[in-house]
Amino acid sequence: TMLLARRAVKAAVRTNTCRCFSVAQTHLSDRKGLVLGVFEQQEGKDGSLHLTEAAAGFDKSLSGKLSELLKISGPALKKGKSRIFYGIHKDFPCLAVVGLGKSKAGVCGAENWDTSKENIRQAVSAGCRSLQDLEVKHVEVDSCGDAQSAAEGAVLGLFQYDQLKSKKRTKVTAQLHGSADMVGWEKGVMFAEGQNLARLLMEAPANHITPTAFANAIEEKLVPHAERVTINKRSQAWIAEQQMGAFLSVSKGSEEPPVFLELHYNGSPNSKQPPLLLVGKGITFDSGGISLKPSQSMDAMRADMGGAATVCASIVTAAALKLPVNIIGLAPLCENMPSGKATKPGDVITAKNGKTIQVDNTDAEGRLILADALCYGHTFNPRAIVNVATLTGAMDVALGSAATGVFTNSDWLWEQLHKASVVTGDRVWRMPLFQHYTRQVTDSQLADLNNIGKYSRSGGACTAAAFLREFVSAPHWAHLDIAGVMSNKDEIPYLRKGMSGRPTRTLVEFAAGLAHNS
């Protein structure tokens, strides 16, 4: 009889969807769901489950019912997987238990991230999505020992761009279960919402996010922080007055007017503190210009403003967090289109600093608009300069979606960026800035520089970085090539398929670190 009973229960309890008892499952959307964590069983321990503190308390309130169901519902819960139970608690008719992997896994030198934080993000995201699929509208989330990471997993995992669809996913509100670390939770929500803002901008069609619409969207997001933020939307006439010939050469093929977006966040109590300068590539659509791209996957070039999106989203987040640091954000915004007015291969243009550039490939346009923005940015005597751009397909070839490539002339700046990325799990990896690559862009038949390397198929990400270096005199500068991390298929488990908004959280963590680092 006992054996038959256990078999009957096991048949009812499935690995990912456990329908326990005969409690009616109607109106789940009107009630709360709950996400709780469980760690892998530690070696040398007895057969008892290793629940989080919140899960253990919940189990105790049920006289051990949750532990018993987990034991009989199948094999041990694997990292990042969820198991759903119905009707075991009157306040939470729908419960997702998620696998957190090893307890206190900590920083992994081989992976260059904090494994515990990544496991929590992945697991909480899986649990929240499972409940969202059941149309549960309100979810409480176990902090799992790190409320910030849990919040990031929940808010990032639930995001999906469906603004233009008639049928939308269930909107889920996530909140912390209990009051373990409300400060950490709220911080995680702001970090994740920042990345989601970048995802929103990158995913939107190019006819919805033009240069003007992009600038207006960021201005609207900064309205609540008006006392700390100054916004300048510079016109084409201003761009011409600044002698930004490289920027104008890219924009002139499009009917959409260019915008040079300039943001000043004054968060430091010391008004004379040198600012951190963030510069983002803002090509709101990249056809390649006269050097036209292949039509296949050209639609993804709506996200070629990912650098500007992550930079501006980082400043919005810094303002929301009230970080005690001064930040200036620059985003040259335009389209790169073919027309009778467009720049032609072989044309020579003049950048803001007077250097002439032979444009042999109009699809290598990001470095041109960044060149003028970097020259302008030096006028603020910044503490450090970080530019971010979906710059080269070669970066995707080199690192794929595993990490953002970083080219920098400063060991100190690299250390700060790397330290931040270990915390966020949105990794960076240092790339070379050898003179070997500089010689390839300075060897030009008609001008001071060529916008593509002498050997265009070799080291493309490196020659692009070498080109940008020609417009930098600051001792602490870093170029982040985010082409490889622009989108997500299934590589980052807590992000759905689509534009990723990476590395917004790393930029925010980096800025937060600078606030406490002289």
Residues acting as catalytic residues: 293, 367
Q: Are strands 498-499 and 259-266 parallel, antiparallel or unpaired?
A: unpaired
3-state secondary structure of 447: coil
Q: Please state, in angstroms and rounded to a whole number, the distance separating the CA atoms of residues 19 and 84.
A: 8
Nearest to 314 by CA among 126, 79, 514: 514
Dihedral sign, Cα of residue 496, residue 500, residue 503, residue 509: negative
Q: Please state, in angstroms and rounded to a whole number, the distance separating the CA atoms of residues 149 and 151.
A: 5
Q: Please state, in angstroms and rounded to a whole number, the distance separating the CA atoms of residues 398 and 96.
A: 38
User: Under 8 Å CB-to-CB from 502, ≥6 apart: which residues?
Assistant: 195, 310, 404, 426, 482, 485, 486, 492
Q: Please state, in angstroms and rounded to a whole number, the distance separating the CA atoms of residues 399 and 404.
A: 8
User: Under 8 Å CB-to-CB from 438, ≥6 apart: which residues?
Assistant: 466, 469, 470
Tokens of 385: 């300069």
DSSP 79: B
Enclosing H/E stretch for 314: helix 306-321
Residue owning tokens 């659509």 = 285
36: number of Cβ within 10 Å: 27
Structural contact between residues 138 and 172, judged by C-beta atoms closer than 8 angstroms: yes
49-54: long-range contacts at Cβ-Cβ below 8 A with a sequence spacing of 24 or more? 50/103, 52/100, 52/142, 52/143, 52/144, 52/145, 53/145, 53/180, 54/142, 54/143, 54/144, 54/177, 54/178, 54/180
Tokens of 346: 């072989």
Omega of the bond leading into 503 within 30 degrees of 0 (cis): yes
Structural contact between residues 65 and 102, judged by C-beta atoms closer than 8 angstroms: no
Give the phi and the psi of residue 426 in degrees, each rounded to 5.
Answer: -95, 90
Q: Tell me, rounded to whole angstroms, the distance of Cα 184 from its chain centroid.
A: 19
User: Under 8 Å CB-to-CB from 424, ≥6 apart: which residues?
Assistant: 191, 503, 505, 506, 509
3-state secondary structure of 480: strand
Give the phi and the psi of residue 273 in degrees, each rounded to 5.
Answer: -65, 125
Residue owning tokens 């995707």 = 396
Tokens of 86: 């119905």
